Amino acid sequence: MDKLVEGEVAQRGPLSAAPPAYAVQFFLIPLGVVAITVLVYMGFRSLVMDQRSAKDYLAEVRTGGINRRWPAAYELSRLMADSDVAKDPTLGPELVKAFEASKTDDPRVRRYLALAMGRLTPPLPAQAIPALSDALQDADSETVISAIWALGSLGDPSVVPRLAEMYGSSDSGVRKMTVYALGALPGDGQLRVLSTALNDSAPDVAWNAAVALARHGNRDGVPVLQRMLDRDYVERTVKRPSSTLNDIDPIGEVMISALHAIAALQETSLRDQVANLSHDESNLRVRQVAMETLKALGPA
C-alpha cells in the first residue's frame, strides 16, 4: 500500500510543517501499511517506468484487465502526491466515480483509489466525503483503513462523529488509523475518544492517542509520552525488527514521535528524560531530535 502512512505533522515554532508533513513526523502511522507499501513499490515500480499521466492511470483502472487495474490504481495514488496533479479540477470528480464503481472490484483497487482521494485538494468533489464514509462499512479492513486515512487527510471536521464510531472496531489496525485521523482533524469533538484511547489494549494505539492529544494541545497523554521515551519499554512492545537495509529503527521512530509531541506541548516536566536521551541514546537520530526538543523547551 502507498506510504500511508504517509502521512500524512504540523507543529509550532521551528518544527512547523504542513499537515501532510505533520503526519509523517508526528504520528505513528500503522506500521504494517508501510511494509506493504515498500513491497508493492519495489515489486512494481521497476515494471512501470513510463510517463503516463494520472488520467491515463485512471482510464486503465476503469478499462484495464484484472491484473492491470490495481497496479494502475497504485501508480495513480503515488502521482497524487504531486500537488500540481492533485489540484487538477477535472480529475477529482472522475476519481470519485471510479472509487464508487470499485465496490465489487479487486479490494486493492479500492484501497489505492481511497489513498488517491485522500490527496485531493479543495474544492473537493461533492461526493468525495460521502463515498469515503460509505467505504467505512467495507468488509476489507485494509480498504477501511485507507478510507479512514483519506478522511483524516482531507481535513473536513464534519467526519469526526463518524470516525469516532470506528474506534469501537475490534481490529487494532482500524483503531490505530482512527486515532491518527482524529488527531489530524481540527476541532475538539474528538478529544473524548482520544483520551479513551490512551488506555487501549494495543500499545501503539495508545501511543498514537497521546501524540494526537498533544497535537491538540491536550496534556492527558503525557504519562504515555513519558513511557514512549523508555527504549527498554518500547523494545518489549514493538515486534518489528530493525531494518539494516534502510536504517530504520522502529523503536527510535516511536521515541522520536514522543519527542516531537513533547516539544509541541512545551512539556518541561520531561526535560530531564529528554536531556538524558540527548547524550546517552544509542540512536543518533533520536539523540539529535532530543537536542532539538531541549531547544524547543527553552532554558531550564
Q: What is the mean pLDDT of each run of 10 residues along the chain (300 residues)?
A: 36 33 48 54 51 92 92 96 92 96 95 97 94 97 97 96 97 97 96 98 97 96 98 88 64 96 97 96 96 94
Quick count: other Cβ atoms within 10 Å of Cβ 18? 10
| CA separation, residue 86 to residues 26, 48, 181, 191, 205 (Å) | 23, 20, 20, 30, 30
Measured CA to CA, the distance from residue 136 to residue 128 in angstroms comes to: 13
Neighbours of 198 (CB within 10 A): 19
Q: Residue 18 belongs to what H/E stretch?
A: none
pTM to 2 decimals? Answer: 0.81
The pLDDT, as a whole number, for residue 300 is 80
Q: For 69-110, how does the pLDDT look when each residue is reduced to its tens digit (9 = 90+)?
A: 999 999 999 999 999 999 999 999 999 999 999 999 999 999
Taking the C-alpha atoms of residue 30 and residue 172, their distance in angstroms, rounded to an integer, is 9
- Residues 6 or more apart whose CB falls under 8 angstroms from that of 150 comprise 114, 115, 117, 118, 132
Q: Which residue has the cell 468525495?
A: 128
Can you tell me the distance from the alpha carbon of 202 to that of 58, in angstroms, rounded to the nearest whole number? 37
Kindly report, residue by residue over 51-73, the tens digit of the pLDDT.
Answer: 789 999 999 999 999 899 999 99
Give dist(CA 216, CA 68) in Å, integer. 42
Q: Please state, as a whole number, how many other Cβ atoms lie within 10 Å of the Cβ of residue 93.
A: 15
